[in-house]
Amino acid sequence: MSKPFYITTPIYYVNDRPHIGHAYTTIAADMMARFHRIAGREAFFLTGTDEHGTKIAEAAEAAGVSEIEFCDGNVAKFKDVWTKLDIKYDYFVRTTSERHLEAVRKILDVMREAKSDDGQEVVYSDFYEGLYCKGCEKFMTEKELVDGKCSDHQTVPEKVKEKNYFFRLTAFLPTIKEKIESGELQILPDERRREVLGLLNQDLPDFSLSRERVKWGVPLTFDPSQVAYVWIDALSNYISAIGYADNETEFKKWWYDSEVVHLMAKDILKFHCLYWPAMLMAAGLPLPEKMFLHGYFTVNGTKMSKSLGNFIDPVDMIEEFGSDSTRYLLLTQYPFGLDGDIQANRFVIQYNSDLANDLGNLVSRVGKMIAVNFNGKMPSPSSGLAGMQDLMKLTERAPGEAYEHVKHFRLSHAIATGLNLVKAANKFFDETKPWVLAREGKTKELGGVLYACCEVLRIVSILLYPVMPNKMSELRKMLSLDDSTLTLDHAATFFDQAVGATIDVSEPLFPRKDVKKKTEAKAKPAKSKQVNDDNLIDISDFGKVKLKVAVVLSAEKVEGADRLLKLQIDAGKGKKQIVAGIAEHYTPEQIVGKKVIVVANLKPAVIRGIESNGMLLAAKKGKKLFVVTPDGDLPPGAGVS
């Protein structure tokens, strides 16, 4: 009997609602947990939210609510999306929960007492020196400053020296290296392992384990004037959630006696592959067995971003395709583990080809022939049909192959194993021509072909269940199968269905989608997403927009574009260029010298080949446009709220 399987996703930041990147990792973990379960293994699947730190506190402030209210709001959005996506986690950890806080306090205490192999204290106090912006309440790097100033507050940050507690990372690095090299700690795929070993060859410093000025965090047990560094807090979730501080039996089972797998993308490699093992060693705990760091994806070839219009909201995708197809489409875009591209503009085409045409069509053509020729009851199997041996061999190999793929994190391959069976059954159907067998009255052969196809469908309903749990359960209902046979063992035997069972496919499993309609809808995202008075946004969304007073320094018409003016403005940080669609309403002379309100934190865009670094606000009355001007003598750069 294999040992239990414990899989985790990162705990996601709650400064915003979940996006498709979060969904990707979470669906993958859910698929793995479900696959191990149908293979007879006990599995525990953990996900959750990372709720402390300056970033969250700032977002809460911008939204005008308390930190915890803000977190509660976004946690609800995460949970809602996971429910909509049929994510069956066993526990949802929140870093603001008392259970988690207790565990962080415990690991802090244990680490504080710990000594490294050479007898030195693991946690020591020292001074941290940095540039601190009072307005932002945070340390800043030289790189973040503009002309030596904080760009938000226009102030020169103070040089500050504060007492911090440090974690003696350097004492653990040689052992971590050994454990990775020996395979005791498996970093997967191999490219990521090499990346970690590369990091280990550099001179990595100890890291600061506490922050004096951050308020939204877990106070240190041994010095409550400081809070724990967010990563110390966040990484501890993997043990707080399984009883580190409050349930010895559960903790022993899932941490000591299980195959522990941390799943994430490569962006958080250093924290997981170096800091976390070091923390665990300091706390005298065993290391996880595996860390799998999948790639980072782009959408339609570019980094996903709201301003580029290629941002995919999981909720929109579920509304369009349903939960199962969303899960399927996301995990089959490119090989799991690598960097890749999510081709959102091809979703409909792929849905129609794999799900509606291949799988959906097999179900419907087989079901319809059983309805017409066998009164909707499963016919008897028959041996000796042409092509049947090949189909059976392929089918009997599939469960083992698919499970091997899952064990090695080749999720897209595992899914393809199921879909290849569907393609093979469609080929078998085409080649045995059951409609001719029916016409010629060859009932025995006809029944044999349809029985074999139903067997493939039954096995596919098991193999694809982990990625499409609802649709595969629906398919099983169509075949009169219950959950007691939803196991990998049952997928390994052919001729397992009861003759005479009701086969009812009256509803299409994957109705075809209209490519044209969807493509048109995709082509006009801006219009359909326009905010009107009835389409309310969260206050947190508004908080993201930085509005500033600016003065127009100069203006000129853009050649070949009747509506556009190129403006040089000062929004408090020197000259900035924007392109505005106001040329039909203002001449350059009329707009120069005016004070306007601009959106100051827009990503640069290129309009008619000219870079534009912001937008100005204007209001419309009929066809006439008026720029919005501040009421009062406000200096350029004054914030508008």
Nearest to 176 by CA among 294, 270, 239: 270
Nearer to ligand ME8 among residue 53 and residue 636 (C-beta): 53
Nearest to 458 by CA among 362, 329, 326: 362
* 354 scored as a contact of ligand ME8 (CB under 6 A): no
Question: What's the closest the beta carbon of residue 217 comes to ligand ME8, in angstroms?
Answer: 13
CB closer to ligand ME8 out of 50 and 455: 50
In the complex, least distance from residue 279 CB atom to ligand ME8, rounded to whole angstroms:
11
The CB-of-64 to ligand ME8 minimum distance in angstroms stands at: 23
User: Which is nearer to ligand ME8, 228 or 391 (by Cβ)?
Assistant: 228
Residue 133 known to be catalytic: yes
Q: Is 621 a catalytic residue?
A: no
Helices (H), 260-352: 269-270, 276-282, 314-321, 323-331, 347-350
Smallest distance from ligand ME8 to CB 267, Å: 5
- Shortest distance in whole angstroms from residue 403 CB to ligand ME8: 24
Residue range at the interface with ligand ME8 (CB under 6 A); choices 21-29, 488-496, 564-572, 631-639: 21-29
Window 35-64: residues binding ligand ME8 (CB under 6 A)? 50
Q: Is position 330 an interface residue for ligand ME8 (rule: CB under 6 A)?
A: no
Number of residues in contact with ligand ME8, rule: CB under 6 A?
A: 19
Based on the number of CB atoms within 10 Å of its own CB, is 527 exposed (0-12), middle (13-18) or buried (19 or more)? exposed
Residue where the block lists tokens 């490699």: 269
Q: Pick the catalytic residue: 133, 273, 453, 454?
A: 133
- The DSSP secondary structure of 336-347, one letter per residue, reads TTS-EEE-GGGH
Marked catalytic residue, from 52, 71, 138, 150 = 150
**Pick from 5, 7, 25, 374: which binds ligand ME8 (CB under 6 A)?**
25
Subset of residues 288 to 317 that bind ligand ME8, contact rule: CB under 6 A: 296-297, 304
Q: Which amino acid is at 121?
A: E
Q: Which stretch binds ligand ME8 (CB under 6 A): 18-26, 149-157, 278-286, 585-593?
A: 18-26
Single out the residue of 484, 488, 493, 494 nearest to residue 465, CA to CA: 488
CB neighbourhood size of 261 (10 A): 21
Q: Cα(38)–Cα(490) distance, rounded to whole angstroms?
A: 10
Smallest separation, CB 537 to ligand ME8 (Å): 21
C-beta of 222 vs 311, nearer to ligand ME8: 311
- Counting Cα atoms < 13 Å in the Cβ hemisphere of 174 gives 4
> What string marks each residue from 260 to 279 as x (binds ligand ME8 by CB under 6 A) or -?
----xx-xx-----------
- Nearest approach, Cβ of residue 78 and ligand ME8 (Å): 10
User: Does residue 21 interact with ligand ME8 by CB under 6 A?
Assistant: yes
Q: Toward ligand ME8, which CB reaches closer, 176 or 402?
A: 176
Instruction: Please give the backbone phi and psi of residue 31, each rounded to the nearest 5 degrees, phi first.
Output: -60, -45
**Residue with Cβ nearer ligand ME8 (229 or 428):** 229
Nearer residue to ligand ME8 within complex by CB, 124 or 296: 296
What is residue 508's three-state secondary structure?
A: coil
> Cα 239 to chain center, whole Å?
22
Quote the least distance from Cβ 196 to ligand ME8, whole Å.
Answer: 15
| 463 in contact with ligand ME8 (CB under 6 A) | no
User: At 175, which helix (H) or strand (E)?
Assistant: helix 173-182
How much of the chain is in helix, strand and coil states, percent to nearest 5?
Answer: 45, 20, 35
Nearest to 573 by CA among 56, 153, 42, 284: 153
Please give the sequence-ordered ranges of beta strands (E in DSSP) within 95-233, or none if there are none.
123-133, 138-140, 158-167, 186-188, 207-208, 210-211, 219-220, 223-228
Does residue 22 interact with ligand ME8 by CB under 6 A? yes
Active site residue 272: no
Exactly one of 3, 19, 179, 573 is catalytic; name it: 19
CA distance 619 to 408: 57
Q: What is the number of other CB atoms lying within 10 angstroms of the CB of residue 180?
A: 21
Select from 543, 516, 522 the least CA-distant residue to 343: 522
* Closest to ligand ME8 by CB, 361 or 412: 412
Q: Which helix (H) or strand (E) holds 487?
A: none
22 catalytic residue (yes or no): yes
> Is 516 annotated in the active site?
no
Annotation marks residue 136 as catalytic: yes
56, with CB counted inside 10 A (0-12, 13-18, 19+), is buried
For this structure, is 413 an active site residue?
no
Of residues 229 and 586, the one with the C-beta less far from ligand ME8: 229
Which is closer to ligand ME8, CB of 24 or CB of 45? Answer: 24
Contacting ligand ME8 within 217-236 (CB under 6 A): 234-235
The distance of closest approach from Cβ of residue 71 to ligand ME8 in the complex, given in angstroms and rounded to an integer, is 13
Q: Are 462 and 486 in contact (CB under 8 A)?
A: yes
How far apart are CB 17 and ligand ME8 at their closest, in Å?
Answer: 11
Q: Which stretch binds ligand ME8 (CB under 6 A): 11-19, 416-424, 480-488, 524-532?
A: 11-19
Q: Which of 3, 77, 79, 136 is catalytic?
A: 136
Q: Which of 134, 161, 215, 306 is catalytic?
A: 306
Query: Which residue is closest to ligand ME8 by CB?
Result: 21
Distance (Å, rounded) from C-alpha 465 to C-alpha 88?
Answer: 13
- Which residue out of 115, 303, 433, 477 is catalytically annotated? 303
- Taking the least distance from each CB to ligand ME8, the nearer of 296 and 435 is 296
**What is the rounded distance in angstroms from the CA atom of residue 108 to the CA atom of residue 240?**
12
Q: How far is the CB of 315 from ligand ME8 (least distance, A)?
A: 16
Work out whether 11 is an interface residue with ligand ME8 (CB under 6 A): yes
Counting contacts by CB under 6 A, is residue 409 touching ligand ME8?
Answer: no
Q: Which distant-in-sequence residues (6+ apart) come within 8 Å of 599 by Cβ? A: 545, 546, 547, 614, 615, 616, 617
Q: Is 166 helix (H, G, I), strand (E, B) or coil?
A: strand
- 150 carries an active-site annotation: yes
Binding residues for ligand ME8, rule: CB under 6 A, are 10-13, 21-22, 24-25, 50, 234-235, 237, 264-265, 267-268, 296-297, 304
Cite the active site residues.
19, 22, 133, 136, 150, 153, 303, 306
